[in-house]
């Protein structure tokens, strides 16, 4: 077996140790706190239901909106974590029978339990999948019809999530994620029950992540 001079052997050992420590620093693992910050687009499904009102039957179409969003998360183990999605209030125009005559704002906090298949490894690309629950709070509903009000009840529903982090340093990463949210709201038009609005959006977010 070839023997290196002491100085060279020490340099090789130091280089190997530094490389190992660097790769371990990048590894996702238990005990990590993290946040992800970016821009999110809320895309409700098409055909959001029909409302039965004194004005007749109204087909509902809820429009898209884009805004600032962020998440906070924690890793219980190398492969399991939890994450809370929060955002500024999104504002959606609402078309009734094709006319843009109503609007609403909402907050969609969403909590998911996440699985990281490559957690605990040195992979720089870290995909994840999550499932959990969404709560949506509606506010500031308005219509352009004089004397006709619109009220949307808050909603609880299931949530699913897909995402990926691209690690660029010990603390920073690039992130892309998508959620499916089950949002169904009972609606009142002019103070009378009018039916259910099925929003069920896909939320797509791109931004950066920071690990503490």
Q: pLDDT by residue (tens digit) across 86-129?
A: 999 999 999 999 888 899 999 999 999 999 999 989 899 999 99
- Taking Cα atoms as reference points, which of 203, 8, 9, 32 lies closest to residue 107? 203
Model pTM score: 0.83
Confidence at 17, pLDDT banded by 50, 70, 90: very low
**pLDDT score of 25:** 54
Strand partners, 114: 81, 130
Average pLDDT, the chain: 88
Contacts 24+ apart (CB under 8 A), 138-144: 138/104, 138/105, 138/106, 138/185, 139/89, 139/104, 139/105, 139/106, 139/107, 140/91, 140/103, 140/104, 140/105, 141/102, 141/103, 141/104, 142/102, 142/103, 142/104, 143/101, 143/102, 144/101, 144/102
Percent share of the chain, pLDDT over 90 = 68
**pLDDT score of 146:** 82
Judged against a pLDDT cut of 50, whether residue 9 lies above it is answered with no
Confidence at 55, pLDDT banded by 50, 70, 90: confident
**Nearest-angstrom CA–CA distance, 86 and 149:** 28
Hey, what are 127's tokens? 């995909």
Q: For the residues 52-63, what does the mean pLDDT come to?
A: 89
Among positive and negative, which fits the CA dihedral 148, 154, 156, 159? positive
**pLDDT score of 8:** 45
Neighbours of 172 (CB within 10 A): 13
Confidence at 190, pLDDT banded by 50, 70, 90: confident
């Amino acid at each position: 077996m070839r023997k290196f001079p002491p100085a060279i052997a020490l340099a090789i050992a130091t280089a190997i140790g530094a490389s190992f420590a660097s790769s371990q620093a990048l590894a996702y693992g238990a005990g990590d706190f993290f946040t992800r910050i970016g821009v999110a687009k809320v895309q409700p499904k098409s055909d959001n239901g029909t409302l039965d009102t004194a004005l007749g039957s109204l087909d509902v179409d809820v429009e898209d909106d884009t805004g600032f969003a962020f998440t906070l998360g924690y890793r219980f183990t190398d492969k399991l974590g939890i994450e809370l999605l929060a955002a500024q209030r999104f504002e959606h125009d609402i078309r009734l029978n094709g006319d843009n005559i109503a609007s609403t704002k909402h907050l969609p906090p969403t909590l998911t339990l996440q699985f990281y298949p490559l957690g605990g490894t040195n992979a720089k690309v870290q995909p994840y999948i999550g499932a959990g629950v969404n709560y949506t709070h509606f506010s500031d509903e308005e219509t352009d019809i004089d004397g006709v009000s619109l009220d949307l009840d808050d909603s609880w529903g299931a949530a699913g999530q897909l995402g990926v982090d691209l690690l660029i340093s010990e603390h920073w990463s690039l992130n892309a994620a998508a959620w499916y949210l089950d949002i169904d709201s009972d609606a009142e038009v002019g103070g009378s029950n009018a039916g259910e609005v099925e929003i069920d959006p896909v939320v797509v977010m791109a931004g950066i992540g920071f690990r503490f």
